[in-house]
A and B are shown apart, each in its own frame.
Chain A
Amino acid sequence: MSGTVPARVTAERVGGRVRLSDLSGGTYLSPRPLGVRGAAARVALVGAYALLLAGDDLRMEVTVGPGVWLELVEPSGIVAYDARGGAASWQADVRVADGGCLVWRGAPFVVTAGADVTRRTRIELSGGARALVHETLVLGRSYETGGGPLRSTTRVAADGRPLLVEDLDLRDPVLAGAPGVLGGNRVLTTAFLLGARPGQAVGVQETLLHGPGALARSVAAHAHEAEAAVAGSWERWRAGFADPAGYEDAV
C-alpha cells in the first residue's frame, strides 16, 4: 500500500480572493475546481476509478488557509468492494486555519460485505476555524445483510487540544451488531459542527460537545432515513455557522 499519491486541496487567501494553490490529483482522487467567488471556493472530489479495491490506500490532504471558505463536493459515493482477503484504507487529513471555514458533505461511503476497510479522518482547527462535515457510513448494499469489516476513526483537535475522538470499530460482527453499538442497523449518518457551539441542542439527534462543537447523528436501517434525521441540523448549522456570504463579497 506504500507509494500512493495523496490528493491535495490547498486554498489560500490572497488579497480578498481565494487562490487554489494546490489541486493535485492523487492515485485515486482528483480535485476539480467548481468556482471561486471572493474568498469562497468550491472543489469537487472526483474518483479516478471504481473505489475502493483490496490494496487501495486513498489519501487526501485538505488545507484551508486563513479567512477562506471552502466547500468540498463529492459527486458520487464511494463503494468499498469485497477485498477477498486484502484490505483497503481511506484517509483524510484536514487543516483549517484561523477564520477559515470548511464545508464538506461527504457522499455515502458504502462498505460491501467482505470489504475490509480502515477509514481515518483527522481535522485540526486553529484559532477561529470552523468545519461542518457530513458523513454517511453504510454497511452493505441494500440487498446485503451487512458489510465490512469496517473501522472508522475520527480525531479532531482545536488549537492542539482534543475536541472529538471517536473509534467506530465494527471489525467484530458480534460487537458491531450488538445492542448499543449499531444493533443490527446498517447506516450511521453524522453531521459534525466543529469550532462553533450552538446555543443549545435541538431535537433528539443533536448533542453539544464539551468543547466548541456539536454533533447530530442517526443510526438507521436505510441511508435515506439516517440522512433525513440529521438534515435539519445540517441545514441550520450550515446557515448559522458556515454561510459563505461574508466570504463571497470579501475584498
Chain B
Amino acid sequence: MTSGLGSLLLADARLPVGGHTYSAGLEPALIAGMPAELIPAYMTARLRTVGLVEAAASVLAHRAVGGDGGAPVDPRALEAVHEELLARSPSDPLREVSGMLGRGLVRLAARLRPDHPAVAALRALGRAPQRPVALGVVAAVIGAGEAETARVSLYDDAQTVASAALKLAPVDPVDAAGWVLSTGDVMTSVVAEALAVRDAADLPAPTAPQIEGWSLEHRNKTRRIFIA
C-alpha cells in the first residue's frame, strides 16, 4: 500500500515546478479570437489531442523506469519515449515550455531522490527534458501508479486551462471547476487509451493544428501574462 501522496503532490499547483507561467495555450487562443464561451470545448479538445500524447508519454516513461511492477530502469527505453514525443511536438515554443516545466520536475526529483537510478536516467536526457517524460519518471519515483500518472497528466492540463481562464476572461471560479469536473468521461477514456499504448513507436500523435499555430503567434508577444 502506498500513501497515495505521490499523485496528490504532482496534481497540486502548489508544487514548486513553475506551472503558473503556463496557460495550456489558452492565452494564445483567446488572443487569436477564440470566444471565451468555447473554453470548455477547448479544454476537451486538448485532452483528446495533446492531452492524449502527453498522458501516453508519461505512462511509457513511467514504465521505462520500472513502472508499477518495479522492473529495472531502462535508460534506452526512456530515451526512445522522449525522442518519439519530440517528433510529435513540432511547435518550437511548446517544446521550450515543456522543457522548462520538465526542468522543474527534474530539480524536484534530484533533490528528493538524488540516488534513484530513474532520476539518473531522467537527467541523462538533458537539463530540460519534456515535461510528460519527467512527470512519468517522477511519478514512478515517488510511488504513483501508471494510471494515476496518466490521470494527473490530463487533470493538470484541464486545470491549467481552468485556472488561466480566471485570469484571462470574466469567468466564475465555480464554473471553471465545473468544466474540469465535466471532462470526467473524456478523461476516463483518454486514460484508457494512454494505458493501452505498449511501444514508444506507437505513441499516439493526434494533431491540433490551431493549438500549434496559436503557440507560434504567441512566441514574440510582449504583452502577455503567460509564456504559452
Known: A162-B83, A167-B205. A175 touches B45 (CB 8 A): yes
Kindly list chain B residues whose C-beta atoms are within 8 Å of the C-beta of A165: 84, 87-88, 203, 205
Q: Interface size (A, Cβ < 8 Å)? A: 33
- A215 interface neighbour in B25, B86, B90, Cβ under 8 Å: B90
A138 to chain B, nearest CB (A): 14
State whether the Cβ of B213 lies closer than 8 Å to any Cβ in chain A: yes
Kindly list chain B residues whose C-beta atoms are within 8 Å of the C-beta of A205: 213, 216
Categorize the interface residue count of chain B. 35 or more
State whether the Cβ of A84 lies closer than 8 Å to any Cβ in chain B: no
Contact: B205 with A166, CB < 8 Å?
A: yes
Contact: B38 with A167, CB < 8 Å?
A: no
A134 to chain B, nearest CB (A): 15
Kindly list chain B residues whose C-beta atoms are within 8 Å of the C-beta of A217: 209, 212-213
State whether the Cβ of A112 lies closer than 8 Å to any Cβ in chain B: no
B42-56 interface with A by 8 A CB criterion: 42, 44-46, 48-49
Known: A166-B205, A217-B209, A219-B210. A180 touches B45 (CB 8 A): yes
Contact: B87 with A178, CB < 8 Å?
A: no
- A180 interface neighbour in B95, B204, B208, Cβ under 8 Å: B208
A82 to chain B, nearest CB (A): 25
- A218 interface neighbour in B46, B83, B205, B213, Cβ under 8 Å: B213
Contact: A201 with B209, CB < 8 Å?
A: no
Kindly list chain B residues whose C-beta atoms are within 8 Å of the C-beta of A215: 90
Is chain A's binding surface mostly helix, strand, loop or mixed?
strand
State whether the Cβ of B8 lies closer than 8 Å to any Cβ in chain A: no
1/0 contact trace for A214-245 toward B, CB 8 Å?
01011100000000000000000000000000
**Chain A: CB-nearest residue to B94:** A207
- In the assembly, what is the distance between CA of A164 and CA of B84, in Å? 8
- In the assembly, what is the distance between CA of A183 and CA of B29, in Å? 11
Kindly list chain A residues whose C-beta atoms are within 8 Å of the C-beta of B92: 201, 207-209
- In the assembly, what is the distance between CA of A228 and CA of B204, in Å? 31
Kindly list chain A residues whose C-beta atoms are within 8 Å of the C-beta of B25: 180
Task: Return 17 A-B CB contacts under 8 Å, by A number.
Answer: A162-B86, A162-B201, A164-B87, A165-B84, A167-B204, A168-B206, A175-B45, A180-B210, A180-B214, A181-B45, A181-B208, A181-B209, A182-B209, A183-B34, A207-B92, A215-B90, A219-B213
Binding site for A on B (CB under 8 A): 25, 29, 34, 38, 41-42, 44-46, 48-49, 83-84, 86-93, 95, 201, 203-214, 216-217, 219
Given contacts A166-B207, A210-B95, 19 further A-B contacts (CB under 8 A): A164-B87, A167-B206, A168-B207, A168-B209, A169-B206, A175-B45, A178-B42, A178-B44, A179-B34, A181-B45, A181-B49, A181-B209, A181-B211, A204-B216, A205-B213, A205-B216, A211-B87, A217-B209, A219-B209
Binding site for B on A (CB under 8 A): 153, 156, 161-169, 175, 178-183, 185, 188, 201, 204-211, 215, 217-219
- A-B complex: 9 closest residue pairs judged by Cβ atoms: A162-B87, A178-B45, A210-B86, A167-B205, A180-B45, A180-B211, A165-B205, A179-B38, A179-B42
